[in-house]
Structure formats: C-alpha cells, structure tokens
Amino acid sequence: MNELIPLMVIVPMIAALLLSAFSKFDKVIKVLAFVVAFCLPIIPLVSNYGLHYFGGYQPVLEPITNMTYHPAITYSFNFMQQIFIAIIGLLTFLVIFIYLTKYKKVSGPYLFLVFMGTAAVTALILTDDIFNMFVFFEILALAQVGIVAASSIDYSYEMALKYMILGSIGSPIMLLGIGFLLALTGSVNITDIVLAIRSGIVNFKSPVFLISLGLIFFGWLYASGLPPFHTIKSGIYSKAEPHGAALLQSFTVISMISIVLILFRVYSVLPIFEVLIVLFSVLAMILGVSLALTQTDFRRMIGFLAVGELGFIGLGIGLGTQFSITAGLFQALNEIVITALLFIGFGAIVNATNEVDTRKLGGLLAYHPKVSIMLLIGGLAMAGVPPLSGFQSKLMLVQASLSCGYPELSILAIMVSIATFVVFVKTFYSMFLRPKPHDLDVVTKDVPRAMIFAMAVLLIIVIAFGLFPDVVTNGISQYVGGMIH
C-alpha cells in the first residue's frame, strides 16, 4: 500500500489543524489526539516500501542527455525510514498519553505543536527534495520553539527567543547554500543533483560547490545542535516540560540524521566533507560531556549528555564506510529511545519534588524505587554497558573507527562513554542514594502511572535492541549499502 506514504505526514498535520481549530471542545480533542497518536506508529509498519511522487508526476527521461529527471516532490520509504518513523510515532504516542493523563484541561495549540513537529520530522526523513527538506526544517524549528515557550518553567520564553534568533541565522544560511546548489545543478531533487555530480556535468571542485557545502553544513549544525549550538540546544531541552523535552531531542536526532544523509549523498565526493563532520562530532563529544559534568540542574545535564551522544552519530557518519554509517544510524535510534527514557524519568522526579537542583536532592530511592531502577538502567544504556542497546551501537562505532585506521577516535569514544558513566553515576548517587537533606520535603504523591508505563515501554525497547541488534542493523546496513553505491 504505497498510498500510505504521504499519509504518514498528512495524518499528523490534519490532526494538528483539527486539534487547534476545535480546541474549545475538551473531550473531542482528547479522543482525537489519542486516536491519531495511536495510529502514528502503526501507519509506517503496515505501509509498503517504495517511492511516492506528489501530484503523480512520474520521472521523465530526457532524450538528449539520456538522463532521468524528477519533476515531482518525491518521498522515498524504505526500512530505515520505516523504523525511525515507527519509533518517532511511538514516542509521540507516549508523550501525548502522558500529557493527556497529566492535565485535566488539555490545550489544543500545544497538541498542534506536538503533531506538527512529528509531521515535520517524518517529512524530513522521507523527502528526496532539498527544498522540501528546508521547508520542513523551518516548520520543525517553529514547532520546537512553541513547545519550549508553552512550558511553565522560568525563563522558557527567553530560551525560546534565543533559539529562534539563532535559528533565523542558521536557516537563511542554509537556504543560501541550497540556492548555490540550485544555481549549479538547476534542480532541487537530490537524486538528480547526485546524478549531475556523478556524471561530471557539475565540477565538484568549483568553489561554488564547496561554499554550498559550507553553508548547508552550518544549517545542519544548527539543526543538530552540534557546537557552536550545543549550549542553546541543551538549554531548550532544560526549559521544556520533561515529556516535551523527550520529544524535542528525538526531533533533533531525526533532523540531524535526515539532513546529514542528504549531505552525504550529495557531498561525499569531496574528501573534506568527512573531515568536517568528524571534527564537529569530536568537538560535540568533548564539550557536551565536559559541560554535563559541571551542571547542577539535572535537566540541563541530560541535555548536554544528549548533545555529547550526537557526536557519536556524527562520528559514525563521518567515517563514511557502510559499517560505520550503519553504526551511526543504530546509535541514533538508540539515543532517541534512551534519552527519552531519561527525560521522562527525571521529569517524574521533578513532578514529585518540584526541585531540579541535584545539590538539594537525596534519598529518593526509598520514595520512588520503580522510577529509580528504570532510570539506572537507562543511564547505564546511555553509557554503553552490556547487554543494553547503547553498548551494541557504541561497540560497532569503536570497531568501525578502528577498521578505518583511526584508533585515537576509538579511544576518544571509549573515554567519552566512561565520562558519561561518571556523570550519570554522580547524579544518580546525589539524587537517589545519599541521605535525604533535612530541608527537602518530598511530596508524597505517586508518580503518574502514564509516566511509569512510558518508561517501561521504552525500557523494553532498550533491552530488546541490546539483545537482538541484528533485527535493526541488518536492514539499516542494506539501506546504507544501497545509498553508498
């Protein structure tokens, strides 16, 4: 059923518009949001692989040059897209579920933002059109700003405005890069652009091509929150509601990998492309983890850890072999799940104590044993402890960098994992294990059931990916092999 491919984007978008329009009817939007969120992970799983041409414009064979052109916006759907869209759909469902059970009166505009963000990342990963990518990249940025501004945490408006201002520098620069690429190739379809470069119509050593890489790369840095955007990215995670932050980080990861795969297809003919990606990934790993070590607000700490983990994904893609890109994508998948688990779990703690400073917390193990055990497993998975999923992907990354002849990158990756472990253990100790400070009054209310449920679902995925990584890696590896050759 190829007709389902555009529906993956259209369903959340229509739902978003309806929810915003009927926001006065509380019952109706609750039911609608729940039903649509429930459908989101199912649609990609029942859909067939294939291509979708919007408007039905099939590719045209040009008789003179004997090359195929794609006049329509094309969506391509394969195993890689399927697994990522299913995971993002599942996460959206869990977040919507937590949100609906948490508040008596739900806000239509907030649900609008959540669904719009989901639609935007789904389109980002499906699209084969560089301008379509830019449009959804902008919609995603707006949705992210909205989710941050909607939270009731102090300074959330300030952080949202900062993100927006940086974004309105990053995205026009990216647009300029797309313009350069359009000027060179005359097309916005990525398959056509790649064909033009491979067949030698475009001189890939020309400065215009190089500059277009630089400009789009800068936009990618903003989208993925690698340095110099790591502070703002971790900032918006810490200012959003915990379930919102869980969704925001997944948006970041998906936009990062979908844009970088496009960049890889277009620019992998240039050796400098891989150097750039590895350089910024290494910077992200070092800065993210070393800043996480110094944080006292645990939401900010996970934010920085999430940025550090993004470095691993970039490292895998920057090494540029089939095995390393598979490892990077698998790491991306794991990171979405694990970081969401951590954000939701720590959100449960905020819910119970109204305190985010690790210095003022302590002794919570006695009050919330379930949450703390699940958080512990999530943290171990992030640090890469076997047999959890983070271990599998990090091991693959270490092997990949060794086999590419960069042992120093392997050592760096292991060191960053250890430092991640230190950060997590330090925080876990000060929050859960050490004696409770006298002035901390734990509100003796239960953690919401929905949060426990969401954490349990995510934990099952973490353990399942850790025990059976082949289920995912084989399919991704095939996709990557098809993309490289």
Partner 1 sequence: MSQLAVLFTSVALVVIGLYAAIFVDNIIKKIIGISFIEEGANLFIVGIGYKSGGIVPILAPNMDVSWFTANASYPLPYGLVLTSIVIGASTLAVMLALVMVLYRRYGTLSTKVMLADTSKQEEYDE
Partner 2 sequence: MKLYDQIFNVVKTFKKLFSPGPVTNADVSGSITSEIFLIVSLLMSALLLRHLSILLTGLVLLILAVVLITNIPLIPKFKIEQEDSLEKMLFYAIVTLGIIVAFMYWGGNFV
Q: What phi and psi, each to the nearest 5 degrees, are found at residue 188?
A: -115, -5
Q: Which two tokens stand for residue 167?
A: 């974004």
User: In angstroms, what is the C-alpha Rg of the chain?
Assistant: 22
Min CB(348)–partner 1 separation in Å: 21
Is 296 a binding residue for partner 2 by CB under 8 A? The answer is yes
124, 133 Cβ separation under 8 angstroms: yes
Choose among partner 1, partner 2, none what residue 272 binds, the Cβ cut-off being 5 to 8 Å by kind: partner 2
2 vs 354 by CB, closer to partner 1: 354
Choose among partner 1, partner 2, none what residue 217 binds, the Cβ cut-off being 5 to 8 Å by kind: partner 2
Which class for 366: exposed (0-12), middle (13-18), buried (19 or more C-beta within 10 A)? exposed
- List the beta bridge partners of residue 50: 77
Question: Applying CB under 8 A, which part among 59-67, 73-81, 132-140, 363-371 lies near partner 1?
Answer: 132-140
- Candidates 10, 14, 39, 270; binder of partner 2 (CB under 8 A) is 270
Question: Applying CB under 8 A, which part among 81-89, 128-136, 258-266, 267-275 lies near partner 1?
Answer: 128-136
Is 211 a binding residue for partner 2 by CB under 8 A? The answer is yes
Min CB(252)–partner 2 separation in Å: 16
Which class for 59: exposed (0-12), middle (13-18), buried (19 or more C-beta within 10 A)? middle
82 vs 353 by CB, closer to partner 1: 353
Alpha helices in 320-429 (DSSP H): 322-353, 369-383, 389-403, 407-428
272 vs 366 by CB, closer to partner 2: 272
Alpha carbons 315 and 246: distance in angstroms, whole number: 23
| Contact pattern for partner 2 over residues 404 through 443, marking x by CB under 8 A | --x-xx-xx--xx--x--x---x--xx---x---------
48 vs 296 by CB, closer to partner 1: 296
Min CB(394)–partner 2 separation in Å: 16
Q: Which two tokens stand for residue 333?
A: 């998948």
- Candidates 95, 213, 256, 307; binder of partner 2 (CB under 8 A) is 213
| Contact pattern for partner 1 over residues 279 through 298, marking x by CB under 8 A | -----------------xx-
Choose among partner 2, partner 1, none what residue 368 binds, the Cβ cut-off being 5 to 8 Å by kind: none
Alpha carbons 5 and 201: distance in angstroms, whole number: 32
Tell me the pairing of strands 67-69 and 50-53. unpaired
Question: Applying CB under 8 A, which part among 95-103, 141-149, 248-256, 313-321 lies near partner 1?
Answer: 141-149
Cis, peptide link before residue 109, omega less than 30° from 0: no
Is 172 a binding residue for partner 1 by CB under 8 A? The answer is yes
- Helix (H/G/I), strand (E/B), else coil: 148: helix
Q: Which amino acid is at 370?
A: K
Is 268 a binding residue for partner 2 by CB under 8 A? The answer is no
Sign of the CA dihedral with 427 first, then 433, 438, and 441 last: positive
Looking at the chain, the number of H-run helices and the number of E-run strands are 19, 4
Is 233 a binding residue for partner 1 by CB under 8 A? The answer is no
Number of residues that bind partner 1 (CB under 8 A): 37
Is 175 a binding residue for partner 1 by CB under 8 A? The answer is yes
Choose among partner 1, partner 2, none what residue 167 binds, the Cβ cut-off being 5 to 8 Å by kind: partner 1
> Which residues, numbered 224-263, are part of the site for partner 2 (CB under 8 A)?
227-232, 235
Alpha carbons 320 and 261: distance in angstroms, whole number: 11
- Helix (H/G/I), strand (E/B), else coil: 77: strand
Alpha carbons 296 and 301: distance in angstroms, whole number: 7
- CA nearest neighbour of 84 among 259, 322, 326, 330: 330
94 vs 188 by CB, closer to partner 1: 188
Alpha carbons 250 and 224: distance in angstroms, whole number: 10
Alpha carbons 349 and 455: distance in angstroms, whole number: 13
Q: Which two tokens stand for residue 91?
A: 């996460």
Alpha carbons 332 and 79: distance in angstroms, whole number: 15
Beta-carbon-side half-sphere exposure of residue 397 (alpha carbons within 13 Å): 34
Min CB(33)–partner 1 separation in Å: 23
Alpha carbons 224 and 222: distance in angstroms, whole number: 6
- Candidates 6, 59, 179, 475; binder of partner 1 (CB under 8 A) is 179
| Contact pattern for partner 2 over residues 337 through 376, marking x by CB under 8 A | ----------------------x-----------------
230 vs 394 by CB, closer to partner 2: 230
Residues of this chain that bind partner 1 (CB under 8 A): 131, 134-135, 138-139, 141-142, 145-146, 149, 154-155, 157-162, 164-165, 167-169, 171-173, 175-176, 178-179, 182-183, 186, 188, 296-297, 300
Residues of this chain that bind partner 2 (CB under 8 A): 159, 162, 165-166, 169-170, 173, 205, 207, 210-211, 213-215, 217-218, 221-222, 227-232, 235, 270-272, 275-276, 278, 282-283, 285-287, 289-291, 293-294, 296, 359, 406, 408-409, 411-412, 415-416, 419, 422, 426, 429-430, 434
